[in-house]
Structures are given as structure tokens and as C-alpha cells.
């Protein structure tokens, strides 16, 4: 029987969670939700599904040591550093090359590092269905999240007809991937029952994704073949990546393959899921006080409602007579931001990074 692997993509910067999130220790290396780093939770969620030696983590040089420290069960040789970021299609292609090097007939899942999923059993059940579908036919499988509200912050998957049934769970053809909708469109999607949230979780055989990359992104695929040839020739992985990886096309796997391929299917999930994309999302995972404030650490709010106030030290952070704020204090920086401007934090971080005085805070 061919082997199964799981590859976790852990190279992001988590800029929307500044000032806690930094280049060397971004969102997935922090306990944003829960008492362990998000990446640690992702690895532990796979316990009993695949052995640790079949888990790869693709990260970058700045984060590799921190990844090793929070994921001690994953073999060090399975933590791979991209020399530069080239988006998710290159990460998927690199994963395909590495997995085929272990087992040419293997199948693999690609998972983000920083999602909140508490129902491990439910998650593993859906993942098993996705693997079974990908191994039964040469298809590209994505896991669809059953929407619970008309969310405008997620992309959606428009499901088609049922293609197969595995252990009582339907696997559907995908009609289309659609971008983040406006509220009216999101309501229509929710009412139809034919749309899932796109969580960016994929399962395929190494052979199937190799064929898809070769067909839809031949330039990228040629670079991946150069990486494979280098490894087959006995060269060190880091040396090969240093030479080839910066020249790979920078494009997401969604644009490169998933939106073009005709053999895409989706499995509906029922497990809880949240990608916790910005500070306001954190409030969904903590019990607020009687005035709707989410408070963590040495903090105090008086005369204010619906604030998120976080301090990661003994430094007291107090908010008086203000509503709907995000206030985050760290040892060297403090953020104050209206909740409805949370998406502008990424812009702020870029501006700070352009100023030599504050680059150490990035």
C-alpha cells in the first residue's frame, strides 16, 4: 500500500496579528487561540492519522528554528526552508517532489499551519474520505467547510453533482471557485446550500498533482524537475533550493491549478473551523466579560464595551470609556486600532518596515 503524507505550509508572516506576530515568530508560532502555538495544534491534530516521519513542514529560514522548537515530534529533516517565498503553487510543487522521493506512489494532503479545529476526530474522518477519493481516481480534492453564516471574508467553492460516495460521505464535483463575495451574494450562497467555504486544504496523489502542475504551469513544473534532478544526483536540498527556487513562478495553487483543472472534487465537512484571520476573530474563541470585552493578560476595561485588550506581560493595559478597540501590548510595541480598521494593520506593518527606526519590530 502506498504511503500517505501530510505537508503543512508554515511560511506566512501573520502581519494582521502584529505586534505579537513577527517575521521570526508569526501567527502560526503563537498561541493565538488555545494554550499552544497554532502549528503545534495542527501537528497534534494528525496524531494517529499519519506517523510523524510522514509529516513535512515547509517554512522559511527565519522561522525554521522556532518551528523545530514547537514541533519536536517532526523529524528535523522534514522541516524544509524555502530560501524565498514563491506562494503556494511552488510550496505544493516542492512538497510533491519531496514526497515522491519517499514513495513515487504516495498521496499527500496540503494543510495550512494556523487554523482552529477542535474536533480532531471529525477532521480526521473528513481527511480520510479525501485521501480515499484521491486514491480511487486521479482527482484533486479540496475540503469544503459548511458555511454557518454569510461570511464575506472567505472564498467559496461551488459544488456540483455527487461524483462518488465513500463510507456514507458524498464527494462532489467542483463547478467553480469564487472570490470573496459581498454580503448579498454571500447570503445567496448560504441559502442555496451549494457553496462551501474554501479553507485551502487539499489532498491528491503525488502523480495527480504532478500532472496538473505540468499541464497548467509548465514553467513552474520545469523548475520542479530541476529540483528533483538535483536531489536524484545526490545534491543537498538546501543547495538545490538556493539555486532553483527563487526562479520559480510566484503564483497561488488556486490560480495556477485549482481554478483551471477539470478533475477537482470537494468533500463536505462538519467539523468546526476558523482561520482566525485577524484580531477581531480572536473574540469568537474566548468568553467575553459582561460588556462584551475580550480580555487576556494584565488588562482592565472600565466604561467600555466590545473591546479586545491583550497584554503578554505583567504590564497593565487599561482602557477607560472606549468601545470597539483592539489594544495589544508587547514588550516593545503597543497597538491601538478600531476593530473595523483591523485589516489596515497589514498596511501599518509595511509602513513600519519601510522606516529604518522600526525594522527591528517586524
Instruction: Find cell 528533483 and name the residue.
Output: 228
What distances in angstroms separate CA 5 from CA 98, 101, 108, 141, 352, one per listed residue? 10, 12, 5, 15, 39
Is residue 1 predicted with pLDDT exceeding 80?
no
Burial of 237 (0-12, 13-18, 19+ CB in 10 A): middle
Q: Is 194 left (phi over 0), alpha (psi -120 to 50) or beta?
A: alpha
Q: 347: Cβ–Cβ under 8 A, 6 or more apart, which residues?
A: none
Is residue 359 predicted with pLDDT exceeding 90?
no
Return the exposure string of 294-332: e unless at least 16 CB atoms fall within 10 Å of the residue's CB, then b. Answer: bbeebbebeebebbbbbbbeeeebebeebbebbbbbbee
Residues 333 and 361 sit within 8 Å (Cβ to Cβ): yes
- Cα dihedral across residues 245, 247, 248, 249: positive or negative: positive
Q: What is the pLDDT of residue 186?
A: 95
In the chain the domains, ranked by start, together with CATH numbers, are 4-269 (3.90.550.10), 279-361 (no CATH)
Q: What is the CA radius of gyration of the chain?
A: 21
Q: What is the pLDDT of residue 230?
A: 97
User: Which of 84, 79, 132, 85 has its CA nearest to residue 109?
Assistant: 132
The Cα 276–Cα 293 span in angstroms is 18
> What's the number of CA atoms in the CB half-sphere (13 Å) around residue 215?
13
What is this structure's pTM?
Answer: 0.94
The Cα 57–Cα 274 span in angstroms is 21
- pLDDT per residue over 250-290, tens digit each? 999 999 999 999 999 999 998 999 999 899 999 999 999 99
The Cα 151–Cα 165 span in angstroms is 28
Q: What is the pLDDT of residue 12?
A: 83
Q: 58: Cβ–Cβ under 8 A, 6 or more apart, which residues?
A: 7, 8, 9, 10, 11, 80, 82, 91, 94, 95
- pLDDT per residue over 45-94, tens digit each? 999 999 999 999 999 999 999 999 999 999 999 999 999 999 999 999 99
Work out the mean pLDDT of the chain and round it to a whole number. Answer: 95
> 319 by DSSP, 3-state: which?
strand
| Gap between the terminal Cα atoms of the chain | 46
Higher pLDDT, 312 or 194: 194
305: pLDDT confidence band, cut at 50, 70 and 90?
Answer: very high
Amino acid at each position: 500500500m502506498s504511503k500517505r503524507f501530510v505537508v503543512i505550509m508554515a511560511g506566512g508572516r501573520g502581519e494582521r496579528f502584529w505586534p505579537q506576530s513577527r517575521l521570526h515568530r508569526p501567527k502560526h508560532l503563537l498561541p493565538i487561540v488555545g494554550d499552544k502555538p497554532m502549528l503545534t495544534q495542527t501537528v497534534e491534530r494528525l496524531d494517529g492519522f499519519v506517523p510523524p516521519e510522514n509529516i513535512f513542514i515547509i517554512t522559511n529560514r527565519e522561522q525554521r528554528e522556532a518551528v523545530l522548537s514547537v514541533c519536536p515530534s517532526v523529524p528535523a529533516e522534514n522541516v524544509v526552508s524555502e530560501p524565498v517565498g514563491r506562494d503556494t503553487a511552488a510550496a505544493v510543487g516542492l512538497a510533491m517532489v519531496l514526497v515522491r522521493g519517499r514513495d513515487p506512489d504516495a498521496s499527500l494532503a496540503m494543510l495550512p499551519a494556523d487554523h482552529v479545529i477542535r474536533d480532531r476526530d471529525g477532521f480526521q474522518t473528513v481527511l480520510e474520505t479525501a485521501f480515499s477519493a484521491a486514491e480511487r481516481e486521479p482527482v484533486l480534492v479540496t475540503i469544503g467547510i459548511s458555511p454557518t453564516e454569510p461570511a464575506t471574508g472567505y472564498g467559496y467553492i461551488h459544488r456540483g453533482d455527487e461524483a462518488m460516495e465513500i463510507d456514507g460521505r458524498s464527494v462532489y464535483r467542483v463547478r467553480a471557485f469564487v472570490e470573496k463575495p459581498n454580503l448579498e451574494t454571500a447570503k445567496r450562497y448560504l441559502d442555496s446550500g451549494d457553496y462551501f467555504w474554501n479553507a485551502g486544504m487539499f489532498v491528491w496523489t503525488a502523480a495527480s498533482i504532478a500532472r496538473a502542475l505540468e499541464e497548467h504551469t509548465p514553467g513552474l513544473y520545469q523548475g520542479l524537475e530541476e529540483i528533483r534532478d538535483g536531489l536524484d544526483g545526490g545534491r543537498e536540498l538546501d543547495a538545490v533550493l538556493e539555486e532553483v527556487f527563487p526562479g520559480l513562478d510566484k503564483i497561488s495553487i488556486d490560480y495556477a491549478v485549482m481554478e483551471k483543472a477539470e478533475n477537482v472534487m470537494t468533500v463536505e465537512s462538519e467539523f468546526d473551523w476558523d482561520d482566525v484571520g485577524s484580531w477581531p476573530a480572536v473574540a469568537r474563541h474566548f468568553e467575553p466579560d459582561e460588556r462584551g470585552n475580550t480580555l487576556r493578560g494584565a488588562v482592565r476595561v472600565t466604561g467600555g464595551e466590545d473591546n479586545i485588550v491583550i497584554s503578554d506581560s505583567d504590564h497593565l493595559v487599561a482602557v477607560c470609556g472606549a468601545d470597539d478597540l483592539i489594544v495589544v501590548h508587547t514588550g516593545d510595541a503597543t497597538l491601538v486600532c478600531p476593530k473595523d480598521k483591523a485589516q489596515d494593520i497589514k498596511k501599518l506593518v509595511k509602513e513600519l518596515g519601510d522606516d529604518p527606526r522600526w525594522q527591528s519590530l517586524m
